[in-house]
Structures are given as structure tokens and as C-alpha cells.
Amino acid sequence: ILDLRKIEAGKLDIHPAPINTLEIARETIAACIGLAQEASVSVVMGELVDATINADPDRITQVLTNLISNAIKFSPAGSSVIVSGIKKEHCYHFAVTDRGPGISSKDQGRLFGKFQQLDSTDTRSRGGSGLGLAISKALVEQHGGRIGVESSAGNGSTFWFELPLESEASLA
Ligand code: ADP
């Protein structure tokens, strides 16, 4: 909550540095191993293109951790979460795919809002504050990037975010 207030007030500084995409993905996956094991879910690397981006490593780790831990939380036991990253023309595109319940298009719009939890008992039993994605959205946008989800009910979800490859200009 503190994070989000600070971001909204424009008080959360971003300290950009060159980050290696492969390294940050690897480290974040390693940090989520405990959570994954508890849930009997494996987290694997899909296609992960090596690139250097200019972004705040702590903040990008925070966003990736949020997406990966959500994916684990909603995954059925025995399934895999796939983390991938590709280079597009003007941005680097990270994606986290799960085989969980998915999200209907009707619900997708409000996911990134504050205190939003899709209100099924199923969701409630998984805990959380409903703030993670709102914070992630703010952090990604502060980097001049975009965040979104591709999903349909029953078919798993892919949460993605994109960071500009030349981001200095947008880091006011
Ligand atoms: P929380 O702390 O409740 O997880 P988030 O902002 O991270 O808060 O997520 C908001 C809501 O979005 C979750 O409560 C859940 O309803 C939905 N959600 C997030 N990630 C997934 C996912 N991978 N699969 C299905 N639903 C998800």
C-alpha cells in the first residue's frame, strides 16, 4: 500500500541500470522455488532472449515476482509455469504463462485496479491483498512500459509486460 501511494504521488524513485533479462528472470525464478515447491508446481524458462534493458532491477524483480507468484498460486498441482522473454522492435516483452483457471474477458479489465480480487470463494482461499497487480502496473508504467493479460476462462493465463528498449527518455 505504501508503494502504491508513493507511486501515485510520484514519489517512488526509479533507479535505472543496465539489466540482463536472462539473469533477472533466472534469479526471480530461483527466489520463487519455495513457493512453487509448496504448491507442487514447477517454474520453467521458455524462450528467454538475452538482452540488456535499462530499468530499475529491484522494481522489475518486484513485478516479475508478483506475476510468477500469482501464476503459482493459481496453478493446479503438477503443472508448470512458463517464464519467457522476447525482444520486439522497440521493447522487451516478458510473459508468465500458467495453466490455472484463467480469467474471463469481462474480468480482465479490473484486474489491474486497486483491491481487485475476482470474487470467487476459490480466489479468496488463495489469500492476497488485491494490490499486487495495481502496483505492478504502476511500476511498469513508470518505466514507460505496458502490462496486460491474455486469457480466457478455463484456459490458463499469460500475464505480460513490456519495457522500452531505449527507456532513458521516459524516465523523467
Ligand atoms: P492478490 O494479492 O490478491 O493476488 P493481485 O493484484 O496480484 O492481488 O491479483 C488480483 C487478482 O487477480 C487475484 O486475486 C486473482 O483474482 C486474479 N489473478 C491474478 N493472477 C492470476 C492468475 N495467474 N490466474 C488467475 N487469476 C489471477
Q: What would the mean pLDDT of 36-40 be, rounded to a whole number?
A: 98
Nearest residue (by CA) to ligand 1, atom 21, is 70
- Looking at residue 37, what DSSP letter applies? H
d(CA 27, CA 29): 5
Residue at 40: amino acid letter: S
- Mean of the per-residue pLDDT values for the chain? 87
The amino acid at 136: S
Write down the pLDDT at residue 106: 87
Is the model's pLDDT at 68 over the cut of 80?
Answer: yes
pLDDT tens per residue across span 2-34: 677 777 666 677 899 999 999 999 999 999 999
Q: Is the CB of 148 under 6 A from ligand 1?
A: no
Ligand 1 closest atom vs CA 111:
12
Whole-number Å distance, alpha carbon 169 to ligand 1 midpoint, is 31
Residues in a beta bridge with 75: none
* Bridge partners (DSSP) listed for residue 162: 93, 146
Q: Which atom of ligand 1 is nearest to the CA of 112?
A: 6
Q: What is the pTM of this model?
A: 0.89
When pLDDT is cut at 50, 70 and 90, the band that residue 119 belongs to is: low
